[in-house]
Structure 1
Amino acid sequence: MSKPSIILASTSTTRKHQLNCLGIPFQAIAPTCDETPLIGEFAPDTALRLAKNKAYSLKAKHKNSIIIGADQVALLNGQQLGKPLTIDNAKIMLANMSEQSIEFYSALCVLHSDFDHCQTHIDLTCVTMRTLTYQQIEHYLDKEPDAIYCAGAAKSEGLGAALIERIDSCDPNALLGLPIFKLVEFLNNEGIDII
């Protein structure tokens, strides 16, 4: 059997950049996935369900492939924060996050399409935000308009780092969208050596 192809079930430029850093060839393909949280669903369950749905949505059309699905959900005071998708929603989210601690659940699914072998992981990152003024929030969103496509509008890989006071995580990559430490382990389990 030929070596499996690697597919990232995502159009996220940040996730593509993260996977590029591992130096392995892959394709990034848009998954088909309704990202609406289910009523009463816990944040880590939402993140994992969506990561799996993204991977499985590409399974039928991509034989002999390792498909990587990922999703992230932010949780503030027991309420899930999705992607704001508009500047106005982002302003409200960020104002509510000021001086608060937010939990980011970054879920990973690595699926071998031929064998239906699925490995999953959820990484928890706790982020404490600085005191944010309305002017700072507006300036941030002017400089980082793509933040509206990030969970909680927190684009930490860019200017969003200035919003953050502290990050607690086992894998600093997870906050960006892909828990790389676990991804390397899962790829190794599928016979794909990174180094």
Structure 2
Amino acid sequence: MRDLILASTSSARRALMDGLGLPYRTQSPGVDEQVSPLHSAKEAVRELAERKARAVHARNPEAWVLGADQLVEVNGQTLTKPEDRGAARAQLGKLLGHTHDIHTGVCLIGPGGQHFEGLETARLTFHAVTPDELERYLDLNEWEGCCGSYRVEGAGQALLARLEGDRSNVQGLPMVTVVRLLRQAGFSFFERR
């Protein structure tokens, strides 16, 4: 049985990985998530996914390590995790009634430096909501730790007017891409234990 590590402590990513039925464990990458401001959102998520995978792989060189990173992009501006409720309100103000993209970079690194990577983009359109409804959503604290200040796996799905792309990508880990990378690395599925 191959050792597979998800370089993340995200509960949303763990829930998606659990659905595959593959044995895996998690480990926090503990990396600096700052990237050059000259990077596009797509370049940044690719770099950060690889940085996370490499950090965990350095501690577990015989394992396969899956790293991922996600950013929201609206009108050419990249949104990261909000620092506080005010920042979350400002981010959602840019998204409500508009269309934005979510980019997720994924990197799988294995023994001997084997390396597979992918990038997935989903496009979302949000409903315009009243200021009172926005404040009620912010009261739920789903914005905490989330790029773009919402969770579509929670109450934030009520903001969603349209989704083009892989819903699991929006939740933090594009499973179609993940499965493709794992298959490229030689993992097999549906095995009896």
Q: Do these two structures clear the TM 0.5 threshold for a shared fold by scoring above it?
A: yes
Q: Which residue of 2 aligns with 1:135?
A: 132
**Residues 156-167 of structure 1: matches in 2 within 5 Å?**
156-167=152-163
- Residue 150 (structure 1) aligned with residue 143 (structure 2): no
- Residue 190 (structure 1) aligned with residue 185 (structure 2): yes
Deviation digits for residues 82-126 of structure 1 (CA, Å, limit 9, x no counterpart)? 0113111101111121211111101111110x2111111110100
CA distance in 2, matches of 1:10, 1:88: 26
Q: RMSD of the alignment, in Å?
A: 1.2
The one-letter code of the counterpart of 2:36 is: L
1:60, CA displacement in angstroms?
1.7
1:141 partner SS: helix
1:37, CA displacement in angstroms?
3.4
Conserved? CA contact 2:99–2:123, under 8 Å: yes
CA distance in 2, matches of 1:46, 1:132: 30
Unaligned runs of 5+ in 1: none
- Residue 121 (structure 1) aligned with residue 115 (structure 2): no
The one-letter code of the counterpart of 1:57 is: A
Unaligned runs of 5+ in 2: none
* Number of equivalences: 190
Conserved? CA contact 2:142–2:150, under 8 Å: no
CA distance in 2, matches of 1:44, 1:104: 9
Conserved? CA contact 1:95–1:132, under 8 Å: no
Conserved? CA contact 2:7–2:56, under 8 Å: yes
Per the normalisation by structure 2, the TM-score is 0.94
**Residues 43-62 of structure 1: matches in 2 within 5 Å?**
43-62=41-60
1:58, CA displacement in angstroms?
1.0
Greater Cα shift, 35-44 or 53-62: 35-44
Q: Which residue of 2 aligns with 1:32?
A: 30
The one-letter code of the counterpart of 2:83 is: L
The one-letter code of the counterpart of 2:25 is: Q
CA distance in 1, matches of 2:123, 2:152: 13
Greater Cα shift, 12-21 or 132-141: 132-141
